[in-house]
Amino acid sequence: MARITVEDSLKKAENRFGLVLLASQRAKQLHKGSEVLIEGTNNREVVTALREVAAGKVAYARPEFLHVKKEDVELIETSESARDSAEHKDEEEA
């Protein structure tokens, strides 16, 4: 039964290795108490994670889908660094 789940899950993942990473991360979340996203499952966390992948309930969080630009990240880091420097300078003056 789990083999069918793996084959179904492979259709949703980029490759076998990506599927292993995705399913293992999701299984860890389930083990720590995360809510199950599919109905009627009384299986172990790994099988449940694979079924969630096959159902399309979990997927990769990829930067191109998050619309993050490298320039924005650098600006945020620069702003935080500037703020931290200003706070540190204020502490030294006090």
Per-residue pLDDT tens, the chain, 94 aa: give them. Answer: 566 678 888 888 878 888 898 999 999 999 999 999 998 778 899 999 999 998 889 887 765 655 555 555 555 444 455 556 656 566 666 5
Considering the domain architecture, whether residues 55 and 66 belong to the same structural domain is answered as no
Domain, as residue range, for 84: 62-94
Considering the domain architecture, whether residues 56 and 66 belong to the same structural domain is answered as no
Q: CB 51: neighbour CB atoms within 10 A?
A: 23
Considering the domain architecture, whether residues 44 and 87 belong to the same structural domain is answered as no
Considering the domain architecture, whether residues 9 and 43 belong to the same structural domain is answered as yes
Q: What is the pLDDT of residue 33?
A: 92
Considering the domain architecture, whether residues 3 and 17 belong to the same structural domain is answered as yes
Q: What is the pLDDT of residue 14?
A: 78
Within a 13 Å sphere around the CA of 56, how many CA atoms are in the beta-carbon half?
1
Within a 13 Å sphere around the CA of 11, how many CA atoms are in the beta-carbon half?
9
The total domain count for the chain is 2
Q: What is the pLDDT of residue 64?
A: 60
Considering the domain architecture, whether residues 54 and 67 belong to the same structural domain is answered as no
